[in-house]
Each structure stands twice: as C-alpha cells, then as structure tokens.
Amino acid sequence: MKSVQQVRAVWTGDEWELHFVWRVEIDVSDAPGESTVGIDLGICTFAALAYEDETAELYPLGCLKEDGYYFGKHIANCDDSSSERAEQLHRKWSNRRTHYFHALAKHIVERCVEKRVGSITIGDLSGVREDKDGEVKNWGKHGNLDLHGWAFDRFTNVLTYKAEMQGVDVNPVSERDTSKTCSCCGQERDANRVERGLYVCDSCGLVANADVNGAENIRKVPLSPSAVSAEDRSNGWLAQPSTVLFDKETGAFAPQEQVRS
C-alpha cells in the first residue's frame, strides 16, 4: 500500500522536476560482503573507483560530452530558444543524461555485489559546487561538458538508493586533500603535482593514475588508522585502471581492453 508523503518541485539546472515521496516497503538484501571501494567523481573522468581488492576502474562518460556537442548544436540552430523544437531537444537531452546516471549506478552496484563490497565511500562535491558568495559554479564550460554540480549530487542520490537496495552502504566524505595526498605513503604536497593524468610522489616514488589515487584516498577516509596501517598493499594497480565505457548499442556499460604502453 503506497501513500504519498510529500510532493516537491525541484529545479535541476535546466528544467523543473516533480518529486513524489512515497512510503513503500522494500526488501533490502544483506550486504554482499565486508570489502570497500572509494569513488572519486570528476569532470574528465566522471567516476574513478579504487577497490579494496587492488583493482581500479575509470568511467569517463564521454557519451555526455558527445551529447553536449550534438544537442548543443541542434538547439543553437533553433530559431527561437523557447520554441517547441528547442524544448523537445532539451527534454530528450535531459532524459538521456538521466539514463546514463541510472545505467552507471546500476553497473557500479553490480560490480560491488560481484566484488563483495559492503561499503562505498564517495567524494562529496557539494562543498566544491558553491563559491564563497554562494554562487553556483558553472562547470559547463569545462571541456564543453554540460555538467553542473547538481549532476554529481543527483548521481550520488541514484547510486545511494540502488546500493542500499543491495545492502551496500554509501558514505559521502569531504574531498579535501584527497587529490593532493599520496595514497601510498600519505605524503601531502602543497602544489598538486599531477602531470598528464599521473600522480607522482617524490617521497616514495609512487606513480599512479591521478583519479585512482584520489579514489584510494577517499576509500581510506572512514577506515581507522590501525586498519589502514595493517593493510599490506601493492601499488602497481594504481597505475593500471581498466576503462569502462557506455555502449550505445546495448545501453549499458562494458569494459574496454586495457591499453598498456
């Protein structure tokens, strides 16, 4: 028996959405296991994942960028930006974005179940989103990717919901210093020395994929210092993430062949 608790109008950045809050009873699964994963969200690589089992995955979400070019161009060609045609394009674009977020969240939760992950730690970008004046930063111009801070919040909400259904906890944590710190020795640098996507540590010599280094730091945030120091981990995997791309044919995410130089 469902009953509506609340109805909200939510501005997503380009359109209004009506959100209905229902009271429903759902069966929540037991946690798939005790393992952990860290997720770093960003603009170039939408999500980087560092698993406790020493594997890493990158989700570039280039399909958002392709859609940005395509829909941007067609909307610009409309005579009138408030025309029915332009509105139709905006709606279609927004629906596709929603689909990507749902497909990605579903895929990540499936991976967590396979890898017996019981706890996801995800970088919280809501503090990054607004500057000192409370102005919402426009991320849209970066790499022509039409993404605002809300995209990350929205994705985190979808992921949290889907994960909890499978008994997986999602813990948002501050991203502070996670990109500056070496995930291997803990050395923190003032200037973030990231070159061509690589994080290079002068203290221990670690060379890692910069997004994976951030994700691994995020994974460790809620762990106790003794749990972290007891970990006996190699670090070669930090430089060898596999890339998982959205397949437009199947409408799902599929791993690509790992490219090694």
Sites of contact with Zn ion (CB under 5 A): 182, 184-185, 187, 201, 203-204, 206
Distance CA 242, CA 259 (A): 8
Residue 147 has what DSSP assignment?
A: -
- Minimum CB distance to Zn ion, residue 191 (Å): 15
Do the strands 56-59 and 47-51 form a parallel or antiparallel pair, or are they unpaired? antiparallel
Q: Of the two residues 83 and 203, which places its CB atom closer to Zn ion in the complex?
A: 203
**8 A C-beta contact, residue 169 and residue 163:** yes
Q: How far is the CB of 40 from Zn ion (least distance, A)?
A: 17
Residue 230 neighbours by CB distance under 10 Å: 9
CB of 189 to Zn ion, least distance (A): 9
C-beta of 147 vs 194, nearer to Zn ion: 194
Q: 160 or 178, CB closer to Zn ion?
A: 178
DSSP 188: B
- Residue keyed to tokens 């919040």: 153
Closest by CA to 62, choosing from 196, 243, 245, 241, is: 245
Q: How big is the chain by its Cα radius of gyration, in Å?
A: 20
- Cα 158 to Cα 97: distance, rounded to the nearest angstrom: 12
184 versus 212: smaller Cβ distance to Zn ion: 184
Minimum distance between the CB of residue 176 and Zn ion, rounded to whole angstroms?
18
Task: Tell me how far, at minimum, the Cβ of 180 lies from Zn ion, in Å.
Answer: 11
Of 103 and 184, the one with the shorter C-beta distance to Zn ion is 184
